[in-house]
């Protein structure tokens, strides 16, 4: 409706892009997608100069050189052209093709190889930083290769996912995946399960932490298993820091008390409170990112019956009293279940862990001790009682010495069994424990 009036108005009132066709080439990468036959196809805007098939171009971000195979415009599908000029938006792909989507970095600048010294890259380019990390393991290790192919296929069109291989004694071979946020992580997981039929175990999301050593060196740790132990912290580390965000929450005034209570309960620090209208409140809080990924948005929606909106931006790293919480089974650490948390959460979370894990571990012929450990301190403990054979079944009730001897023999046997016995924990136990 009224399209015949809208389009001419756009042409008249919105100024045309400016740029010199005779100037050295300056191309901005806007987007990219993967084609099975052509490789990575780039959607670009030409700021200066001209580009055509056969030109040699170079990326400022990666330093890689390519030969242009084809240029064109989206009209609405890919329509080849002989040349793209300053002011145009179009597509290009290379010959030989760009094989990896990670080479196409949105915001990157391209120019002719002979003009590299004459051109300044366009401002504003930043590498995407992963802020939410999970570990992924196949439920059956025989499916490792198929799951790896599925992850590689998804990352072809999602270059912001960081993928590194890792291994767990409990869960076997898997991957450490980095995402831009919790929604990004959730969508990737859903696509793996629905589009590729993957059966996977996903650990709870974690965030990177910064370690500042006494020599001045800074290190960002994204895997809880690599977090330094308490002895190292006291001896060689100047400070530990965790990432914070500035959250802006808009909601009706009637829910203000519940939202403040939620933020304060998640170690938030109030920055401002203002009224947008007579009934709408804008609340700003500094929150640890670790609390945001722990389903903070879901809790916010629940507290406000869906009326609140949340926006946030990074606020850098701040000093924090954090430590690694780990699960031990018969004093052996379970590397699949580790998390870096604020020390104030240790006891509550530890009790939840040991109680939940006890439900999913099978009873053994010996006593199984499940502990939640922070540094050298045990913050929670549960004991799984062993199967017990009635050695007194055929014994006469009055034979007290024989009764005592048999019980001591059974007790000694259990002590020896516990010393050499290993607790076999099935993958299903981890899958149930890690389920939300």
Helix axes 346-360, 427-434, angle to 10 degrees: 140
pLDDT for residue 102 is more than 90: no
Rounded distance between C-alpha atoms, residue 435 and residue 207, angstroms: 19
Q: Which of 68, 56, 47 is nearest to 112 (CA)?
A: 56
CB crowding 26-64: b at 16 or more within 10 Å, else e: bbbbeebebeeebbbbbbbbbbbbbbebebebbbbbeee
- pLDDT value at 388 more than 70: no
Average pLDDT for the chain: 84
Quick one: average pLDDT of 386-395? 61
DSSP per-residue codes, 191-228: HHHHHH---EEEPPPB--EEEEETTS-EEEE--GGGSP
Beta-carbon contacts of 2 under 8 Å, excluding residues fewer than 6 positions away, are none
The answer to whether residue 421 scores a pLDDT higher than 50 is: no
pLDDT above 80: residue 137: yes
Query: Residue 73's pLDDT is what?
Result: 92
Assess whether pLDDT exceeds 80 at residue 404: no
Which of 129 and 262 is assigned the larger pLDDT?
262
How far apart are alpha carbons 413 and 403 in whole angstroms?
Answer: 16
305-328 tens-digit pLDDT: 888 888 888 888 998 888 888 888
Report d(CA 178, CA 90) in Å as an integer: 31
Residue among 174, 286, 173, 212 at smallest CA distance from 163 = 174
In this structure, what are the phi and psi dihedrals at residue 146, rounded to the nearest 5 degrees? -65, -40
State the pLDDT confidence band at 25, using cuts at 50, 70 and 90: very high
Of 138-142, 349-353, 378-382, the one with minimum mean pLDDT is 138-142
Conformation bin of residue 322: beta by default, left when phi > 0, alpha when psi is -120 to 50: beta
**What mean pLDDT do residues 378-398 have?**
70
Kindly tell me if the per-residue pLDDT of 94 is higher than 80: yes
Average pLDDT over residues 70-74: 92
**Per-residue model confidence (pLDDT) at position 420:** 43
Which of the 8 DSSP states describes residue 304?
T
pLDDT score, position 415: 59
For position 365, what pLDDT does the model report?
67
Going from the C-alpha of 31 to that of each of 103, 107, 270, 324, the distances in angstroms are 12, 8, 38, 39
pLDDT of residue 419: 45
Cis, bond preceding 30 (omega within 30 deg of 0): no
Confidence of residue 232 (pLDDT cuts 50, 70, 90): low
Cα distance between residue 428 and residue 170, in whole Å: 11
Residue 233 confidence (pLDDT) above 70: no
Residue 181 has pLDDT above 50, yes or no: yes
| Per-residue pLDDT band at 125 (split at 50, 70, 90) | confident
At residue 401, does pLDDT exceed 80? no
Range with lowest mean pLDDT among 124-138, 323-337, 402-416: 402-416
Mean pLDDT of 78-82: 92
Q: What is the DSSP letter of 17?
A: P
Domains of the chain: 16-118 (2.40.30.10), 132-206 (3.30.70.870), 211-319 (3.30.70.240), 324-434 (3.30.70.2570)
Phi, psi dihedral angles at 114 (to 5 degrees): -80, -5
Reply yes or no on whether the pLDDT at 362 is more than 60: yes
Section 404-419 average pLDDT? 62
Band the pLDDT of 425: cuts 50, 70, 90.
low
pLDDT, mean of residues 102-127 = 87
Per the DSSP assignment, residues forming a β-bridge with 319 are 241
Does 51 have pLDDT greater than 80?
yes
* pLDDT at residue 236 greater than cutoff 60: yes
Tokens 């051109």 belong to which residue?
119
Q: Is 260 helix (H, G, I), strand (E, B) or coil?
A: helix
pLDDT digits (tens, 9 = 90+) for 184-209: 888 898 888 888 888 888 888 888 89
Residues sharing a CB contact under 8 Å with residue 187, sequence separation 6 or more, in sequence order: none
pLDDT(77) > 90: no
Cα 119 versus chain centre, distance: 36
CA dist 51 and 39 (Å) reads: 19
Distance CA 359, CA 382 (A): 10
Q: 3-state class of 279 per DSSP?
A: coil
pLDDT digits (tens, 9 = 90+) for 271-308: 988 888 888 999 999 999 888 888 888 888 999 988 88
What is the number of alpha carbons within 13 Å of residue 148 lying toward its C-beta?
Answer: 11
206-225 mean pLDDT? 86
Question: In terms of pLDDT, which residue wins out, 241 or 16?
Answer: 241
Residue 342 · residue 414 · CB < 8 Å? no
pLDDT score for 435: 66
Which residues touch 319 (CB under 8 Å, ≥6 apart)?
Answer: 239, 240, 241
């Amino acid at each position: 409706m009224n399209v015949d009036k809208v389009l001419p108005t756009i042409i008249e009132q919105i100024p045309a892009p400016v740029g010199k066709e005779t100037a050295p080439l300056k191309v901005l990468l806007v987007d990219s997608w993967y084609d099975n036959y052509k490789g990575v196809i780039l959607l670009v805007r030409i700021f200066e100069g001209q580009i055509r098939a056969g030109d040699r171009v170079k990326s400022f971000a990666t330093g890689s050189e390519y030969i242009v195979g084809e240029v064109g415009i989206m009209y609405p599908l890919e329509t080849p052209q002989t040349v793209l000029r300053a002011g145009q938006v179009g597509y290009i792909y290379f010959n030989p093709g760009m094989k990896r989507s990670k080479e196409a970095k949105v915001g990157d600048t391209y120019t002719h190889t002979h003009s590299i010294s004459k051109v300044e890259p366009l401002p504003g380019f930043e590498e995407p930083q992963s802020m939410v990390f999970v570990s992924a393991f196949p439920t059956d290790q025989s499916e490792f290769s198929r799951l790896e192919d599925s992850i590689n296929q998804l990352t072809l069109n999602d270059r912001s996912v960081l993928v590194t291989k890792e291994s767990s004694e409990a869960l076997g071979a898997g991957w450490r995946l980095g995402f831009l946020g919790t929604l990004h992580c959730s969508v990737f997981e859903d696509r793996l399960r629905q589009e590729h039929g993957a059966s996977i175990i996903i650990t709870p999301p974690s965030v990177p932490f910064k370690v500042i050593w006494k020599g001045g060196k800074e290190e960002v740790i994204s895997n809880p298993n690599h977090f330094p132990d308490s002895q190292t912290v006291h001896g060689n580390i100047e400070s530990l820091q965790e990432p914070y965000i500035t959250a802006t929450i808009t909601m009706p005034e009637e829910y203000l008390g519940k939202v403040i209570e939620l933020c304060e309960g998640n170690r938030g620090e109030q920055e401002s409170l203002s009224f947008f209208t007579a009934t709408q409140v804008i609340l700003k809080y500094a929150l640890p990112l670790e609390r945001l990924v722990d389903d903070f948005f879901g809790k916010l929606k629940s507290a406000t019956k869906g009326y609140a909106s949340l926006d946030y931006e990074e606020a850098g790293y701040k000093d924090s009293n954090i430590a690694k919480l780990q699960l031990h089974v018969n004093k052996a650490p379970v590397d699949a279940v580790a998390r870096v948390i604020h020390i104030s959460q240790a006891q509550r979370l530890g009790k939840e862990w040991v109680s939940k894990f006890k439900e999913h571990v099978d009873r053994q012929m010996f006593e199984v001790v499940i502990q939640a450990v922070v540094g050298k301190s045990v913050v929670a403990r549960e004991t799984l009682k062993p199967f017990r054979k009635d050695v007194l079944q055929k014994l006469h009730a009055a034979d007290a010495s024989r009764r005592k001897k048999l019980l001591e023999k059974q007790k000694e046997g259990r002590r020896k069994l516990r010393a050499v016995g290993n607790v076999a924990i099935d993958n299903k136990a981890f899958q149930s424990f890690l389920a939300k």
